[in-house]
Structure 1
Amino acid sequence: MVSKNSQNRHCLSIPVDWDLPKFSLGEQVQVTTQLPDITLIQTGLLVGVEYFRADNLWVIEGITAGWHYYIQVDANDPWHTKEPVLCVEESAINKLTTLD
């Protein structure tokens, strides 16, 4: 549920029985994808987040319950795929750190 407060800011309510997400919108992240013959490591911008409850139809069909993130893949990444946005489980994401 998204609502607008008096300071014209958006806020989000998360039900108490859900875990909190580990990552925030706008973060630069690294995504690890395991394929049958190779492991892809890609970078990108976190642009969306969605929670799948255990009773969700997608979960029943084989996707894990919990937070899933939408990552806009960096087009300059050498492993860039045809898909501009990836949907990945929380366990496949690492926060990128910058060296100062």
Structure 2
Amino acid sequence: MMTWYLIIFVFMVLMGAFALAYQIFRLTELDAKCRGLKHPKWWGLFSLSGNNGSGGLILYLIGRRKYPIAMNSEERTLMNSRKKRAGAALVFMAVGMICLMSTCILSFN
């Protein structure tokens, strides 16, 4: 019975991680587009790369300082919506991880 719980919680963590990565990709793409950078999709993919998982995002955040942002209200609404979705994905992943750890501890006792 515990195996099913483990599978469900691992699936929860993975779905949260993929949703978070997708939202970060879309946020970076929208930000790059609003700042007028060339190839915003490439910047979105670059933000997901790195040895520790976020090295590309840090480099993007440092490099974007030179470009002022010009965002209209529709893009601002979309940006806030994506931030809320990223937060929800992070909560989903954290709850899944807590439940996964609890199940692992209970199954070994």
TM-score normalised per structure 1:
0.24
**Structure with more contact order per residue of length (Cα contacts < 8 Å, sep ≥ 6):** 2
Q: Which has the larger radius of gyration?
A: 2
Higher helix fraction (1 or 2): 2
